[in-house]
A and B are shown apart, each in its own frame.
Chain A
Amino acid sequence: MKNIYLSQKAKIIKIEKISSDVKLFRIKRSKFSFIPGQFVLIGIWGQGEAPFAIASSPFEKNHFDIVVRNTGGRVTHALHNLKSGDELTFRGPLGKGFPISFFEGKDLVMMAGGYGIPPIASLAEYVIKERKKFGKIYLLYGARSPQDILLQKKIKEWQKKINVILTIDKPQSDWPGCVGLVCDLIQKIEVNPQNAAAAMCGPGPMVEALEKVLRPLGISDRRIFVSLERKMQCGAGKCQHCVTGEKYVCLDGPVFNYDEIDKNWD
Chain B
Amino acid sequence: MVQVLEKKQINDFLAELGKKFEIIDARNDILPPKQYFFPPKEEIFTFDKKSARVSIPKIKKDFIIFGLSLPDLEAMVQLDEIMRKPQEDFFYFQRRNRAYLIGLSEDPICLPPVCALPGGDMILEKINEGQYRVLTLTDKGKKIAKSRFLKSFKNIEIKKYPDGLVPMPTLKKMLLDPEYLSDIVAWSWKNDAKIWDDLKDICLGCGICTYVCPLCYCFSVEDRNASRCRQWDACTLPNFAKISSGFNFHKTLKERYYNWFFHKFVRAYKEYGKSQCVACGRCKKYCPAGIDIEKVLINIKEDYEKYLSVAKS
| A residues with CB within 8 A of B | 1-6, 9, 45-50, 69, 71, 73-76, 87, 115, 203-204, 229-231, 233-234, 236-241, 243-246, 251, 265-266
Query: Besides the contacts A46-B47, A46-B223, A87-B52, what 18 more A-B pairs have beta carbons closer than 8 Å?
Result: A1-B93, A6-B56, A45-B45, A45-B54, A46-B224, A48-B223, A71-B244, A73-B244, A74-B223, A203-B247, A229-B243, A233-B221, A234-B221, A239-B218, A239-B220, A240-B233, A240-B240, A265-B262
- Asked, given contacts A46-B223, A71-B246, whether A238 binds B89 with beta carbons under 8 Å apart, the answer is yes
Task: Determine whether B235 belongs to the interface, using a CB cutoff of 8 Å to chain A.
Answer: yes
Task: Determine whether B3 belongs to the interface, using a CB cutoff of 8 Å to chain A.
Answer: no
- Beta-carbon contact of B221 and A46 below 8 Å: no
Q: CB < 8 Å: which of A50, A251, A266 contacts B255?
A: A266
Q: CB < 8 Å: which of B86, B224, B226, B259 contacts A266?
A: B259
Among B87, B190, B246, max chain A CB count under 10 A is at: B87
Taking CB atoms, residues of chain A closer than 8 Å to B190 are: 265
Taking CB atoms, residues of chain A closer than 8 Å to B82 are: 238
Tell me the bound Cα distance from A4 to B186 in angstroms: 32
A-B contact count (CB 8 A): 112
Taking CB atoms, residues of chain B closer than 8 Å to A231 are: 241-244
- Asked, given contacts A1-B88, A1-B94, whether A246 binds B189 with beta carbons under 8 Å apart, the answer is no
- Asked, given contacts A76-B244, A229-B243, whether A45 binds B223 with beta carbons under 8 Å apart, the answer is yes
Could you name 17 residue pairs across A and B whose Cβ atoms are closer than 8 Å?
A5-B90, A46-B49, A46-B223, A46-B224, A46-B225, A47-B223, A204-B247, A230-B243, A236-B89, A238-B217, A240-B217, A241-B233, A243-B259, A244-B249, A245-B262, A246-B267, A265-B189
Q: CB < 8 Å: which of A3, A48, A234 contacts B219?
A: A234
- Beta-carbon contact of B270 and A246 below 8 Å: yes
- Beta-carbon contact of A45 and B47 below 8 Å: yes
Tell me the bound Cα distance from A233 to B247 in angstroms: 16
B40 CB to closest chain A CB (Å) equals 15
Taking CB atoms, residues of chain B closer than 8 Å to A49 are: 221
A99 CB to closest chain B CB (Å) equals 20
A25 CB to closest chain B CB (Å) equals 16
